[in-house]
Structures are given as C-alpha cells and as structure tokens.
C-alpha cells in the first residue's frame, strides 16, 4: 500500500495549508518509527517505509509541485493498482477539524488531484480530504491555502492526526466503509 500526501516542496511551503498532506505523512512517519524520507529521483518524490497495522506501507511525497503531483505515480501505476493507493490532501470546502474519506470521486477544484486522476486514468482510488476552511470569511482562497497555519489551527490538526491514522489503518484492512461511517462527520472535534 502506498500513502501519498500532497503538498509543495521547499521550505517556503512548510506548514502551509496546502501542505497538509506532507504534514500528515511526517506525523505518520514519526509516530510509527518510519525510516527517514529519501529522495527517489525516478518517482520525483521523497519516500519512507514503515509498518502500519502489520502492513508494509510506503509514504510518498511528490516533489513536482502540487499541480503536477501525478507525475510521481507514472512508474508506480505499472506495478501498483490505484486501489492500493491512498491520497491525502487539503480541502478548502471542508471546515478545519473535519475529514472526508471516499473510495472514488472527482478532483473538484484541486489541481493536485486533477493531475493524479489524469496520470492514473481513473478516479477510483481511496482518498482522505482534510478540511482547512476557517469559520470566518477570507479574502482570497489561493493566498489562504498557500498561507501558513496559525498556532491555533496547528493544535486542531494535531488532534486530527490520530483519526487520520486510524482511518488509514481501516482502509488498509479493507474496512473503508467503516472508516467513512466513523470519520465522515461534520467536525471530529465537536
């Protein structure tokens, strides 16, 4: 199983809302004693391996920038079916503190997902969308998603990580529907 976290490479984008996929993989790697992330030039990614729920898992961070995220999967799709890939990414349409798990679906307005669907040739793969929208109005979505999380937002995200890990473990163990029922709530922290 491969867990793909979406984000933009480089220190400039560290802890930005658009990089919640990378941040989630960092949590999983640290929390489960994964290997250090190593560059894989063939997949245009940073990768790590760990054991999760008695399964060998590869964590993959595309290093192509968000809009070209699918390029990291060109070689992998030849040996790993999309059903064995879980994509984790930010979703501006969901409020902070919520996640949505789906077996398949459209990319919506997310360019990273558009790239992945285009490269894989299917939208049938599990994904976990992490809400980043605040409860107050904002002026511009593009600048907001590329902005850094505030400390209060980081506190909320830190509380979500165990839920995300549990949802991944359920998906890995062929319990995607159970993960959806348990975690697809309006706000997990209410």
CB 47 within 8 A of CB 61: yes
Polymer length in residues for the chain: 190
CB 25 within 8 A of CB 62: no
Choice among 2, 8, 9, 18 that is catalytic: 18
Q: Phi and psi of 31, rounded to 5°?
A: -70, -20
CB 119 within 8 A of CB 74: yes
Encoding tokens for residue 11? 């220190």
32 three-state secondary structure: coil
Q: Of 188, 59, 52, which Cα lies nearest the Cα of 130?
A: 188
Strand partners, 47: 38, 60
18 catalytically annotated: yes
Strand pairing category for 55-62 and 127-133: unpaired
Active site residues: 18
């Amino acid at each position: 199983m491969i867990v793909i976290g979406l984000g933009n490479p480089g220190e400039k984008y560290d802890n930005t809302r658009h990089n919640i996929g990378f941040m989630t993989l960092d949590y999983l790697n640290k929390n489960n004693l994964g290997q250090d992330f190593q560059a894989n030039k063939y997949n245009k990614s940073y990768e790590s391996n760990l054991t999760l729920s008695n399964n060998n898992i590869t964590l993959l961070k595309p290093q192509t920038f968000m809009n070209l995220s699918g390029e990291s999967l060109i070689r992998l799709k030849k040996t790993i079916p999309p059903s064995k890939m879980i994509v984790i990414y930010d979703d501006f349409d969901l409020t902070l503190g919520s996640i949505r798990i789906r077996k398949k679906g459209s990319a919506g307005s997310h360019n990273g997902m558009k790239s992945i669907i285009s490269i894989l040739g299917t939208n049938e793969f599990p994904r976990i969308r992490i809400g980043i929208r605040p409860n107050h109005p904002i002026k511009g979505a593009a600048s907001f998603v590329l902005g850094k999380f505030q400390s209060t937002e980081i506190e909320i995200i830190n509380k979500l990580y165990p839920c995300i890990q549990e949802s991944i473990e359920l998906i890995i163990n062929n319990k995607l529907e159970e993960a959806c029922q348990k975690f697809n709530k309006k706000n997990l922290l209410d």
